[in-house]
Amino acid sequence: MTEAEHANESAKNHKPELPKDVRVRFCPSPTGTPHVGMIRTALFNWAEARATGGKLVFRIEDTDAQRDSEESYNQILESLRWLGIDWDEGIDVGGPHGPYRQSERTDIYKDVAAKLLAAGYAYESFSTPEEIEARNVAAGRPKAFGYDGYDRDLTEEQKAAFRAEGRKPALRIRMPDEDIAFDDLIRGTIEFKAGSVPDYVIVRPNGDPLYTLTNPVDDAMMDINVVLRGEDLLSSTPRQIVLYRYLIELGIAKQTPLFGHMPYVMGQGNKKLSKRDPESNLFNHRDAGFIREGLLNYLALLGWSIAPDRDVFSMDEMIAKFDVRDVKANPARFDLDKAISINAEHVRMLDPADFLRRSVPYLKRDGVVSADSWDALTEREQEILTAAAPLVQTRVRLLGEVAGMVGSLLSTAEYIEPDDGAKKQLKDSAPAVLDLAIAALEGVSEGDWKTDNLHETLNKALVEEGGYKPRLAFGPVRVAMSGRRVSPPLFESMEIVGREVSLARLKGLRTHL
């Protein structure tokens, strides 16, 4: 690479310094269930604010009456609170720049639109989509080429004639005939050639303001100086930069913010992860039993890393290291198996009492305990779960797996129907093994029904004297106790369940073979 080429490449990769007092924002539209892409955006904005000692503003962009819903709005709040992503200004917190729902800011947008029109930065456009397409075809351009600037210089007489036909104008921003470049915090220098971005609509003919107006106006009035958002919005950035110039001229904006466009989150088959993909649905992951620490840790890896060859970290560690300029521009792939693996690490790091407290709602949902909070459980349930915690916590990856592991311990059933996986584990020797096990264990008293003694007794009867390999020896006993191929440690489980029920289960399985 020549010196000139190197200088050019360095210019392309230039990433600007952050402002002294960072103000970022998270501004979702309430149009469906929160998805991992949305939460990744919230997480990176939150991390940047916390890492720099800046402020995070949370507002809602709810001007699309047909698509927005109060249910979605409440789900967004629920998701942020569950994950522990807090904000400094905005919804339910307040601040000097409210209101923080766009549906309550209509008069502000009307006022700004009128000022843009009066200053000549915006103009009235009467062209219909059909007319724009017809003009493109007539000029030899593709039908979907886009708006051609036809209404830029309409005379007052022409405007009056359109109004006489009953037409109402949209408002369009007048784009300058020049290249537009900016230094992206993630991607370096990005340039849009003159004429590549047509004049765009900011207000519909019915008077409704569009995102192209409301979003930059809110950012300007809320003094947002760093905008971190998805790569899918990159094409709208030159429009916003031009609008900021006009807003600065009008005294509405103090500055043009810095932009950072985060990489796409990809799903299966090299396709962008869609809102409709089950893997995208945040609440699906919560229902499966992800804990906030594990899910946030994994989402942080979708474009960023704390250090080479290190995937597991806390949010405090992330805040200490995070700089949005370190985010990679390449698409990030959502790998559910890796997400579950990272969650398992965080589950193991929980204090046992915290692990149990968080597990109880899942246990109630799955029908294995009597209440959905720890304090409301029976004394017996609390005793069994406390004893089971060290056996189970290291063996589950998701809280949704806990019920399968402790259900047999909490149950007083004297026979548990084996699941399909457990049935396959039962070999022809199972009846004889169970007969030996029952005979040996009936000689163990209630007082001696302890983990080590049970292990020693069964090992002697089945392995040493019976001649069975451990897998064949203990497999049928495990299936009898839990009905599952995978369960908590066998002998500890037998101690927790107790002598009477343990023997009954062994005999129950024996009679069904």
Identify the CA nearest to 402 among candidates 348, 479, 335, 451. 348
**What H or E segment, with its residue span, contains residue 502?**
helix 499-511
Chain center to CA of 305: 17
Evaluate whether 257 touches 19 at the Cβ level (below 8 Å).
no
C-alpha torsion sign, points 238, 243, 244, 249: positive
Beta-bridged to residue 259, according to DSSP, are 227
- In a 13 Å sphere around the CA of 395, the CA atoms on its Cβ side amount to 14
246: left (phi over 0), alpha (psi -120 to 50) or beta: alpha
258: part of which helix (H) or strand (E)? strand 258-262
Are 13 and 189 in contact, with CB atoms under 8 Å apart?
yes
Would you give the end-to-end CA distance of the chain in angstroms? 76
Gap between the Cα atoms of 394 and 496, Å rounded:
18
Q: Is 275 annotated as a binding residue?
A: yes
Within 10 Å of residue 272's Cβ, how many Cβ atoms?
Answer: 15
Nearest-angstrom CA–CA distance, 417 and 423: 9
Let me know if 275 is a catalytic residue. yes
Q: Which residue has the tokens 């250090």?
A: 307
Cβ atoms of 89 and 57 within 8 Å: the answer is yes
Residues in the chain: 513
HEC string of 303-368 equals: CCCCECCECCCCHHHHHHHCCHHHCCCCCEECCHHHHHHHHHHHHHHCCHHHHHHHHHHHHHHCCC
Catalytic one of 159, 272, 275, 328: 275
Q: Give catalytic residue positions.
A: 275
Residue ranges for the known binding site are 275
Residue ranges for the known binding site for ATP are 275
